[in-house]
Amino acid sequence: MSQTYFITGAQGCIGSWIVKALADRGDAPVVFDRSEDARRLNAIMVPSALERVRFIVGDITDVTAVRSALERSGARRVIHLAGLQVPACKADPVAGAFVNVIGTLNVFESAKSAGVERVVYASSAAVFGGGEIETPVDESVATEPATHYGVFKRTNEGNARVYFLDHGLNSVGLRPLTVYGVNRDAGLTSDPTKAMKAAVLGVPFRIRFSGATDFQYVEDTAAAFLRCADGAPAGAMVFNLHGETVDVERIANVINQNTERELVSFGGPLIPIAPALDDAAIKRVIGDLPSTPLEVGVRETMRRFTELREAGRLDTSDIDSEISAVS
Ligand SMILES: NC(=O)c1ccc[n+]([C@@H]2O[C@H](COP(=O)([O-])OP(=O)(O)OC[C@H]3O[C@@H](n4cnc5c(N)ncnc54)[C@H](O)[C@@H]3O)[C@@H](O)[C@H]2O)c1
């Protein structure tokens, strides 16, 4: 039977792929986002699939709006992704806390009132600070975030735990790191995807960080959220997600191998997040998850960008400065 899912922030990157997966399998996604801009959904979904999607424009900082939207949706499963990313939280920590912490509390309050089955929410690998940590970190490693964003995500994990203790509200927090693929156009670690887009357009691009990161293909990330929404056991769980731990140099090389000219370079500081996540816990509890090899994910992303470019539908607003530098 078709299920309804209430997804906050679903006009964004990860949300768009979750909505696509739900619509493709015949379920009913309800998108709750403060943005009405559906360009990411349009980039990856066919019109007939988009017809299955219901849109509610609203802000997670407004608890009344979230509560009434969730109740109206009739959803029993909530996927909470809405939030501000690292640069926005750094530029304005107060606004960051308002959206990422208070907004998340509003989603949990609304889920509690609506009596939903489970909330799956985006935490982040940014709860682990320090790019110098080389060995894979599991969930038992003490979190020491190096960004306000990471602190807010860690706070959300604590609040989720208390909602389970106080009200029996089930939840799963997932900690992705560098998600890549079509629609990854914002945030500290979005440069590799921007580089893929630039390369497809024949435009040089410099990835502005160096060192290793945990690189995760967006369809795999979306699948992990759905697997948890559909079948996690009762409790308040938090899991790392893991893709492939790779050096930025290798990412640049793989992109360059897919183009005629070497267009992608890199350089800059390390990402202030542990680069290797141990995902044994989620595999133990939820089961095996899809894991797309780096070469395959990069090729598929560049293929999709090429297809969009040829159809005149490639959104290039995220790499405007690189494009204008060559024109
Ligand atoms: N992309 C990654 O690599 C990554 C890694 C770790 C964690 N995360 C987390 O996963 C979640 C989704 O990431 P993404 O890359 O899809 O982000 P994104 O920036 O592409 O999308 C975020 C969405 O949230 C919406 N939003 C922001 N503030 C809102 C508000 N106050 N009310 C309602 N909607 C609001 C935006 O309009 C946008 O559509 C975020 O919480 C992010 O912190 C992402």
224-241 pLDDT tens trace: 999 999 999 999 999 999
150 lines ligand 1 (CB under 6 A): no
Which structural domain, as residue segments, surrounds residue 297? 4-326
pLDDT of residue 246: 96
139-167 pLDDT tens trace: 999 889 999 999 999 999 999 999 999 99
Report the chain's mean pLDDT, rounded to a whole number.
96
| Domains identified in the chain, total number | 1
Q: Ligand 1 centroid to 121 CA: how many Å?
A: 11
Tokens representing 176 are 């992705």
Average pLDDT over residues 46-54: 96
Q: Which of 232-252 are b and which e, b meaning 16 or more Cβ less than 10 Å from the residue's Cβ?
A: beeebbbbbbbbbbbebeebb
pLDDT of residue 1: 84
Whether residue 312 is predicted with pLDDT greater than 90 in this model: the reply is yes
SS3 (DSSP) at 39: helix
Best residue for ligand 1 mutational test, from 7, 13, 317 (most atoms within 8 Å of Cβ): 13
Instruction: With cut-offs at 50, 70 and 90, classify the pLDDT of residue 132.
Output: low
Annotate 53-66 with DSSP letters as a single string.
Answer: -EEEE--TT-HHHH
Instruction: With cut-offs at 50, 70 and 90, classify the pLDDT of residue 83.
Output: very high
Whether residue 133 is predicted with pLDDT greater than 70 in this model: the reply is no
Whether residue 135 is predicted with pLDDT greater than 90 in this model: the reply is no
Pairing of strands 4-8, 77-80: parallel
pLDDT of residue 188: 85
**Contact 66/108 with Cβ under 8 angstroms?**
no
96 lines ligand 1 (CB under 6 A): no
169-204 pLDDT tens trace: 999 999 999 999 999 999 889 999 999 999 999 999
246-264 pLDDT tens trace: 999 999 999 999 999 999 9
Q: Ligand 1 centroid to 259 CA: how many Å?
A: 30
Instruction: With cut-offs at 50, 70 and 90, classify the pLDDT of residue 130.
Output: confident
pLDDT of residue 259: 94
Closest among 89, 67, 3 to 272, alpha carbons compared: 89
**Contact 255/202 with Cβ under 8 angstroms?**
no
Nearest CA to ligand 1 atom 3: 179
Pairing of strands 212-217, 244-247: antiparallel
- Across 77-81, 131-135, 303-307, least confident range: 131-135
Annotate 147-163 with DSSP letters as a single string.
Answer: SHHHHHHHHHHHHHHHH
pLDDT of residue 131: 57
Q: Ligand 1 centroid to 85 CA: how many Å?
A: 7
252 lines ligand 1 (CB under 6 A): no
Q: What is the DSSP letter of 165?
A: H
Q: Ligand 1 centroid to 270 CA: how many Å?
A: 22
pLDDT of residue 327: 79
Q: Ligand 1 centroid to 81 CA: how many Å?
A: 5
99-123 pLDDT tens trace: 999 999 999 999 999 999 999 999 9
Above pLDDT 70, what percent of the chain?
99
CATH number assigned to the domain comprising residue 320: 3.40.50.720
The CA-based dihedral angle spanning residues 150, 153, 159, 165, taken in that order and rounded to the nearest 10 degrees: -100
